[in-house]
Structure 1
Amino acid sequence: MSDKVVVTDIARADRATADALAEFGSATVHEAMGRIGYAGPRIRPIQQGVTISGTAVTASVAPGDNLMVHAAIEQAGDGDIIVVVPVTDSPYGFIGELMATQMQVRGVRGYVTSGGVRDTTELRSMKFPAWAAHISAEGTVKDTAGSVNLPVVLDGVVVNPGDVVVADDDGVAIVPRERVAETLEASRARAAKESANRVKYEAGEISMDLNNLRPVLEQLGVTYVSQAQRDGR
């Protein structure tokens, strides 16, 4: 099958489960899955204090060409997050205020890309969140075919249409559609453990003891010496 295709009837992760993952954020979700799914430090938010989750509508685009982003907007709806991956690194502003307006009206929760965005002041003002590898005033053309709703690779992480995207100030995590329920359960368990530990830390305990790290240091050959011993006195 040609990669020049728009898939119109993708299966999406369960809406309520996808929505619930926003409570935990990208770091907890990444850890709960076994330290996988994080798209890396290059994909950064243009705003602060925003956490979203939703189902992925994916687009593969040519460098400097946003034709297939327009096609992705047509396929996206309430609860979705559009994920756009140029086939090579492309620091262009693939979307701006007008395209974000279309997405927002359709109920799209945000935009994630390994390319670029522009009109960032306007995007923040209209409260449309975006995560991108680049911010660039340089616009794009609309000349080259690509795909919508086929798998894409977002800075090393495979994103299938219908997977869950969790994005916040720490970055972006991708949860495979078939793992969403187990990831939500694991995220809840991890958050509960961290909450219990926080109480202990606030009471004066430290992680060296709580996590039983002293035997680890000993096994690695780390010793404790006084400054006088270190100085040979």
Structure 2
Amino acid sequence: MTTAPTLTPADLDFLRSVDSPTIANAIERFKVRPLTDGFVGGQVRCAFPELGPMVGRALTVTMRNPGDRPASREGFWRMWEQLEAMAGPTVLMIADHSGAPHRVAYAGEIMTKLARRLGAVGMVTDGGLRDLAEVRALGFHYFMRYPVVSHANFEIATVGEPIELDGQRIETGDLVHGDANGIVLIPWEIVPELPEAVEKVRSAEAADMAFIDGPEFTLGGFKDRRGYGSGK
């Protein structure tokens, strides 16, 4: 059995100190994936940006709204048991399979409290969630399309299988980083080298902004100096 990678307290402290766009830019320096991969699309939005960055290991689930037949509860217990067994912090990544995500809220205050007790720090879905004031007060992260007032008749269809959220494939165990700008996946193999890459990004951006604000700025000079978008 493959041992799950771990996050040290220092890793967590560092990742929580960096905004998600800077993380995304730093990942590009490693050339480990296409520039069009590794982030959840903009339809999934941060509900509580004041909480700062969210960092955790993904647990992927799919949920659906089966209409008039009684919803199964078997998937709930599989989800909670797997969440409890995972090394934290964790993030529930919920893919809507209802076909009408605007007609169902997949979690609220009680589910959030239980998820938090079992090690989760946030939920991410391309559908709806609810109880925003109560969940904000818990300091628990919500990323979603929109709030929906009713839980309707939803059930959990799959637990731990790969999902897609707004154009991005996500697997259980993926390292998730999200803030007001959205969500990026961090390749585990680069975590030890990420602080140095982040510092290089910050230094380069600070130098660019100083030049743009300075008295010697010209567009030609900026192009000669660095080459915007070149990845240097």
- Counterpart residue number, 2:48: 47
Between the aligned partners of 1:95 and 1:207, the Cα distance in structure 2 is 52
Residues 141 and 193 from structure 1, CA distance in 2 versus in 1: closer, same or farther, beyond 3 angstroms?
same
Aligned length: 208
2:106 corresponds to 1:94: yes
Q: How do 1:155-166 and structure 2 match up within 5 A?
A: 155-166=166-177
Residues 128 and 197 from structure 1, CA distance in 2 versus in 1: closer, same or farther, beyond 3 angstroms?
same
- Counterpart residue number, 1:229: none
Per the TM alignment, residue 99 of structure 1 is displaced from its structure 2 partner at its CA by 0.6
- Counterpart residue number, 2:202: 191
In the alignment, residue 185 of structure 2 is paired with which amino acid? I
Structure 2, unaligned runs of 5 or more: 29-34, 228-232
User: Contact between 2:57 and 2:90, CA under 8 Å: does it hold in 1?
Assistant: yes
Between the aligned partners of 2:107 and 2:173, the Cα distance in structure 1 is 22
Between the aligned partners of 1:210 and 1:103, the Cα distance in structure 2 is 53
Deviates more, 1:188-197 or 1:93-102: 188-197
Q: Secondary structure at the match of 1:14?
A: coil
Between the aligned partners of 2:195 and 2:100, the Cα distance in structure 1 is 32
Deviations 1:1-32 (A, max 9, x none): xxxxxxxx985443134663333222222233
Per the TM alignment, residue 199 of structure 1 is displaced from its structure 2 partner at its CA by 4.3
- Counterpart residue number, 1:133: 145
Per the TM alignment, residue 128 of structure 1 is displaced from its structure 2 partner at its CA by 1.1
Residue identity over aligned pairs, in percent, reads 23
User: Contact between 2:63 and 2:154, CA under 8 Å: does it hold in 1?
Assistant: no
User: Contact between 1:12 and 1:161, CA under 8 Å: does it hold in 2?
Assistant: no
- Counterpart residue number, 1:71: 78
Larger Rg: 1
User: Contact between 1:85 and 1:153, CA under 8 Å: does it hold in 2?
Assistant: yes
2:48 corresponds to 1:32: no
Between the aligned partners of 2:72 and 2:176, the Cα distance in structure 1 is 21
Per the TM alignment, residue 125 of structure 1 is displaced from its structure 2 partner at its CA by 1.6
Counterpart selection for 1:105 from 96, 117, 124: 117
- Counterpart residue number, 1:84: 94
Per the TM alignment, residue 130 of structure 1 is displaced from its structure 2 partner at its CA by 0.6
2:126 corresponds to 1:114: yes
Between the aligned partners of 1:30 and 1:40, the Cα distance in structure 2 is 13
Structure 1, unaligned runs of 5 or more: 1-8, 217-233
- Counterpart residue number, 2:178: 167
- Counterpart residue number, 1:59: 61
Residues 181 and 58 from structure 1, CA distance in 2 versus in 1: closer, same or farther, beyond 3 angstroms?
farther
Using the size of structure 2 for normalisation, the TM-score is: 0.74
In the alignment, residue 76 of structure 1 is paired with which amino acid? L
Between the aligned partners of 1:157 and 1:66, the Cα distance in structure 2 is 27
Per the TM alignment, residue 138 of structure 1 is displaced from its structure 2 partner at its CA by 1.8
Between the aligned partners of 2:215 and 2:72, the Cα distance in structure 1 is 54
In the alignment, residue 14 of structure 1 is paired with which amino acid? T
